[in-house]
Amino acid sequence: MNTIYDPSGIALRTPFIPSSSLELCQLCKALGDWFVANWISTTQTRIKYKHHLSWNALSESASKGCSFCYQLALEGEQRFMGGTIAFKIQHGKSTAFTAEMDGGSPKILVRCDNVEWCVLDVYTMANDPMLQYRIPRSSQKGDTFDPALASTLTSGKSWLKECKTAHAECRIRDRFVPTRLIDVGLPDGSENPRLLDTKQYGISNDVELEYATLSHCWGQTKHITTETDTLKKHEAGIAFSELNRTFQDTVLVTRALGFRYVWIDSLCIVQDSASDWQRESSLMGSVYSGGAINIAADAAEDGDQGFLSKRTPSCFPYTLPDNDSHGMLIMKASKRKRWVEYSGNLRRRAWVFQEYTLSACSIRYNMNGISWECRCGCYYDSEVISEDNQFRRDTRALKNLPMQWCSVSPSSPASKISEVMALWRKLITDYSKKELTFEMDVLSALSGLASLVHTATGDQYLAGIWRCDLPAALQWVPESYDWRSTTYLAPTWSWATCKKSCPIIYPFPSTTQSKVKILDAGITLDGDNPFGRVSDGFLKLKGLVQRGTFKRLSPDSQELQICLQHNETQVRSSHLYEQYDGEVAALPPVWCLQLCVRVRSLEMFPMQIDGSHLYGILFLEEDRRDGTFRRLAYEICGMTDADWHGAVEKIIVIK
pLDDT digits (tens, 9 = 90+) for 563-593: 776 655 555 554 454 446 667 777 777 888 9
Task: Give the integer Cα–Cα distance in Å for 645 and 361.
Answer: 57
Whether the per-residue pLDDT at 142 is higher than 90: the answer is no
Across residues 76-81, what is the average pLDDT? 54
Of the candidate ranges 127-136, 242-251, 255-264, 490-499, the one whose mean pLDDT is the lowest = 127-136
Distances in whole angstroms, Cα of residue 93 to Cα of each of 86, 96, 114, 481: 10, 9, 13, 20
Query: Which position has the higher pLDDT, 611 or 615?
Result: 615
Of the candidate ranges 261-275, 519-533, 603-617, 641-655, the one whose mean pLDDT is the lowest = 603-617
At 385 the pLDDT is 59
Backbone angles phi, psi at 436, to 5 degrees: -125, 135
Question: Looking at this protein, which amino acid is placed at residue 574?
Answer: S
Mean of all residue pLDDT scores within the chain: 80
Say if residues 215 and 295 touch (Cβ distance below 8 Å): yes
At 8 the pLDDT is 25
pLDDT digits (tens, 9 = 90+) for 232-245: 999 999 999 999 99
Whether the per-residue pLDDT at 403 is higher than 50: the answer is yes
Query: Which position has the higher pLDDT, 128 or 577?
Result: 128
At 93 the pLDDT is 61
Say if residues 354 and 446 touch (Cβ distance below 8 Å): yes
Say if residues 177 and 203 touch (Cβ distance below 8 Å): yes
pLDDT digits (tens, 9 = 90+) for 295-335: 999 878 788 888 886 666 678 888 888 777 888 888 877 65
Task: Give the integer Cα–Cα distance in Å for 361 and 352.
Answer: 13
Whether the per-residue pLDDT at 92 is higher than 90: the answer is no
At 418 the pLDDT is 92
Tally of CA atoms within 13 A in the half-sphere of 574 that contains its CB: 8
Radius of gyration of the chain (CA): 28
Task: Give the integer Cα–Cα distance in Å for 28 and 30.
Answer: 5
Say if residues 470 and 563 touch (Cβ distance below 8 Å): no
Task: Give the integer Cα–Cα distance in Å for 320 and 129.
Answer: 8
Query: Which position has the higher pLDDT, 348 or 427?
Result: 427
pLDDT digits (tens, 9 = 90+) for 166-217: 888 888 777 899 999 999 998 888 889 999 999 888 887 777 899 999 999 8
Any residues with CB less than 8 A from the CB of 114 and at least 6 apart, and which?
none
pLDDT band at 6; cut points 50, 70, 90: very low
pLDDT exceeding 70 applies to what percent of the chain?
A: 79
Q: Is residue 606 reached through a cis peptide bond, with omega within 30 degrees of 0 on the bond before it?
A: no
Q: What is the pTM of this model?
A: 0.78
Query: Which position has the higher pLDDT, 491 or 546?
Result: 491
Q: What angle do CA 521, 526, 532 make, to 5 degrees?
A: 75
At 305 the pLDDT is 82
Query: Which position has the higher pLDDT, 95 or 610?
Result: 95
Say if residues 180 and 195 touch (Cβ distance below 8 Å): yes
Whether the per-residue pLDDT at 602 is higher than 70: the answer is no
At 19 the pLDDT is 34
Whether the per-residue pLDDT at 367 is higher than 90: the answer is no
Residue 302 is classified by DSSP as: S
Of the candidate ranges 265-274, 310-319, 643-652, the one whose mean pLDDT is the lowest = 310-319
Task: Give the integer Cα–Cα distance in Å for 262 and 182.
Answer: 5
The full set of domain ranges for the chain reads 26-145+311-340, 150-310+344-399, 409-654
pLDDT exceeding 90 applies to what percent of the chain?
A: 35
Query: Which position has the higher pLDDT, 540 or 375?
Result: 540
Any residues with CB less than 8 A from the CB of 162 and at least 6 apart, and which?
none
Of the candidate ranges 390-394, 395-399, 413-417, 491-495, the one whose mean pLDDT is the lowest = 390-394
Distances in whole angstroms, Cα of residue 263 to Cα of each of 150, 231, 269, 346: 23, 15, 10, 17
Helical residues (DSSP H) of 40-193, grouped into ranges: 55-63, 67-80, 84-90, 150-166, 168-171
pLDDT band at 38; cut points 50, 70, 90: confident
At 612 the pLDDT is 58
pLDDT band at 4; cut points 50, 70, 90: very low
Using alpha carbons, select from 72, 74, 73, 78 the residue that is nearest to residue 391. 78
Query: Which position has the higher pLDDT, 41 or 442?
Result: 442
Say if residues 405 and 412 touch (Cβ distance below 8 Å): no
Query: Which position has the higher pLDDT, 311 or 1?
Result: 311
Q: What is the largest CA-CA distance in the chain?
A: 88
At 506 the pLDDT is 84
Q: What is the DSSP string of 212-239?
A: EEEE----SS------TTTHHHHHH---
For the chain, report the end-to-end CA distance as a whole number of angstroms: 70
Question: Looking at this protein, which amino acid is placed at residue 361?
Answer: C
Whether the per-residue pLDDT at 230 is higher than 90: the answer is yes
Residue 149 is classified by DSSP as: S
pLDDT digits (tens, 9 = 90+) for 471-521: 999 999 888 767 888 899 999 999 999 987 788 888 766 567 889 999 999
Distances in whole angstroms, Cα of residue 605 to Cα of each of 313, 571, 611, 644: 55, 21, 11, 22
Whether the per-residue pLDDT at 2 is higher than 60: the answer is no
Across residues 10-18, what is the average pLDDT? 24
At 143 the pLDDT is 46
Q: Which string of b and e fits 80-100 if b means at least 16 CB within 10 Å? A: beeeebbebbeeeeebbbbbe
